[in-house]
Amino acid sequence: MGEDKLTRDDLVLLMESYRNMITMHQTILDQTNKTIDKLNIIASKLDSLFSKQGNICNTMNNIDEKINTTIIETKTNNDKIDNISINITKNLNDHEKKSIEEHSKLTNKIYIGWIGMVTIILSLIGLGITLTNIIQTNFPTVIP
């Protein structure tokens, strides 16, 4: 039992150990508080991120609805275009028959048009030659 007595040095050592333990716990508490603060900042940023993701999801849903509406409108317009195309094809076939019947009339008109255009072009060439001759006779030094 005599060995159970604590000396003054033992008590000082024990008190110093308690003080070190309190300091260590205080440091751990400070580090925990800093970690909690950082976790709060992360949670705040995550909340903002989730809010932005929610906005993106809403925007994507709106875009999806617009795309679906556009697809329906496109199908409707496609059907209209198909009907119009069928009508145009029918009309073209009718006009083709008529144009075959009137081919000779149009051919004659085209020949007359070509003859008229050639006549005009030849007249312009003649006029150009005449003007060149007049300019050369009146102004021989201007045009060699």
Examine the domain organization and report whether 67 and 118 are in the same domain: no
Task: Please tell me the predicted confidence (pLDDT) of residue 1.
Answer: 44
Task: Please tell me the predicted confidence (pLDDT) of residue 100.
Answer: 78
Examine the domain organization and report whether 115 and 94 are in the same domain: no
| Domain membership flag for residue 1 | no
Tokens of 84: 């119009």
Q: Domain limits at 15?
A: 9-101
CA angle centred on 11, ends 10 and 14, rounded to 5°? 85
Examine the domain organization and report whether 24 and 92 are in the same domain: yes
Q: Which single residue is written with the structure tokens 């030849």?
A: 122
DSSP structure class, residue 6: P
Distance CA 42, CA 56 (A): 20
pLDDT (tens digit, 0 to 9) for every residue of the chain, 144 residues total?
456 787 888 889 989 999 999 999 999 999 999 999 999 999 999 999 999 999 999 999 999 999 999 999 999 999 999 999 999 999 988 888 887 778 877 788 888 999 999 999 999 999 999 988 888 888 766 555
Examine the domain organization and report whether 43 and 87 are in the same domain: yes
| Domain membership flag for residue 2 | no
At 43, is the secondary structure helix, strand, or coil? helix
Q: What is the number of domains present in the chain?
A: 2
Q: Please answer whether residues 143 and 135 qualify as being in contact, where contact means their C-beta atoms are separated by less than 8 angstroms.
A: yes
At 55, is the secondary structure helix, strand, or coil? helix
| Domain membership flag for residue 4 | no
Instruction: Supply the pTM of this predicted model.
Output: 0.42
Task: Please tell me the predicted confidence (pLDDT) of residue 2.
Answer: 52
Distance CA 131, CA 125 (A): 10
Distance CA 55, CA 36 (A): 28
Distance CA 62, CA 50 (A): 18
